[in-house]
Amino acid sequence: MWKFISRVLAISFLAVGTVAAQPADTFVNVNPPQPTEPGKIVVLEFFAYTCPHCAVLEPLVAEWKKTLPGDVAFSSVPVAFNQSMKPFQYFYYALDAVGRLDLHPKFFAALHQEKKRLFNQEAMIDWAVDQGVDRAKFTAAMESFGVKSKATRADQLAKGYAIQGTPSVAVGGRYVTSPSEAGGYQETLDVANQLIDRF
């Protein structure tokens, strides 16, 4: 009998140790959990082009995405905390619409390393044209219903996940981590990997 009790206690302690290996303060629970794509582990990277921390995390995310399992559906979500940030959302989704998301990291560099003042739609379009993008197509994309619908959806996602700052990484509709919770940039992705493993 005592051997049985000892074995149960040992298993209980082992279980507690496993939970402790992923401390809860490295992420927050999403309440209520958000609906996600059936059959997929949805991972969302909430970012803002004006955020210097997002600029640091971006190249790490670019490499991390290549390592994600096949059942993970990854998306970047541009966040607008105020009206002045809306053009940045349109810019990101316009890049996607014209097939030039290769310019996504270059735009971060233009803002944060080259210190270019690309804060309105006209300046963003001029910059994209300088990178070889067709002005008429890009302007039409930025002003299109499709792009603005995606920006509206991004606002809904940020609200649903209660995003207070960027960058933040949401996993499976249930968890959100960030450099402030995880303790660093690479640590954010390490915690995200641990959260992916829960599904």
**2-11, 140-149, 181-190: least confident range:** 2-11
Tell me: the pLDDT tens digits for 52-61? 999 999 999 9
Strands 175-177 and 168-171: antiparallel
What's the pLDDT at 84?
A: 94
- The CA-CA-CA angle for residues 104, 105, 106, to 5°, reads 90
**First-to-last C-alpha distance (Å) of the chain:** 36
How far is residue 81 CA from its own chain's centroid?
15
pLDDT, mean of residues 184-196? 96
How far is residue 80 CA from its own chain's centroid?
13
CATH 3.40.30.10 for domain 24-196, yes or no, is yes
Tell me: the pLDDT tens digits for 78-124? 999 999 999 999 999 999 999 999 999 999 999 999 999 999 999 99
What's the pLDDT at 27?
A: 94
pLDDT, mean of residues 65-72? 95
pLDDT, mean of residues 147-171? 97
What's the pLDDT at 25?
A: 87
Q: Where are the domains of the chain?
A: 24-196
Q: Dihedral (C-alpha) 145, 103, 168, 197: value to the nearest 10 degrees?
A: 100
Percent of all residues in the chain with a pLDDT value above 90, rounded to a whole number: 86
Strands 41-47 and 72-78: parallel
- pLDDT beyond 50 at 4: no
User: H-helix or E-strand containing 155?
Assistant: helix 145-160
